[in-house]
Amino acid sequence: MRDRPAEHCTTKERPGWLTLHARGGSLDEPDVVFTGRRQQHLSCRARTLVDAAEGGGGLAVRLDERHHYEIEVSGTRVRVVARVGSLRTVVAARSVPAGPVVLAVTTRPPTPHGPCTGPDVVSLGIEEPDGTFTELATLDGRYLSTEVAGGFTGRVIGVYAATGTVHFDWFDYEPLDR
């Protein structure tokens, strides 16, 4: 995040894939291995194909070390984790077949929208082998907003390694509010 040393972030180890070697233990750590892009649209979808057979990591929506949502795979287990201030909890978990898995995050305005709702809702899930999306959790986006959490840089969506070595074949981001 704050630097990109070759020993932690490479495209040479597995040609065509981004390989991340973890340091730190989670997105709560300031030296976590994370690479991402700014969320530029209220409604968007980000996806990645991840192979976490040698570690654990995944896809995250991140404001800072104390405010992030992530969907993480390790071996044959996927889990959604929410960190809001001093609270950190596993929101959902499920088993997946061994091998690479597509993780996805979608943001959309809440329905209905009102004074007690966030700017958006964040859905985290996986794509099944047949291409259908299975949502594991939907979380209020206000806790990842600068209005609630502070800061000024906004959200970043990207991939990270929490433990061991994690390989990412591709990452895509697309606006949904065209």
pLDDT for position 154? 83
Q: What pLDDT does residue 167 have? A: 98
Q: What is the pLDDT of residue 118?
A: 73
Mean pLDDT, consecutive 10-residue stretches, the chain (178 aa), reads 72 94 88 92 96 96 94 97 95 96 95 76 94 94 81 87 96 89
Give the model's pLDDT for residue 131.
87
Q: Alpha-carbon distance 148 to 167, whole Å? A: 33
- Residue partners of 77: CB distance under 8 A and separation at least 6: 93, 94, 95, 96
Question: Domains of the chain by range and CATH?
Answer: 9-175 (2.60.120.200)
pTM of the predicted protein model: 0.92
CA distances from 4 to 35, 82, 87, 98 (A): 9, 25, 28, 29
Q: Which two tokens stand for residue 80?
A: 């959604």
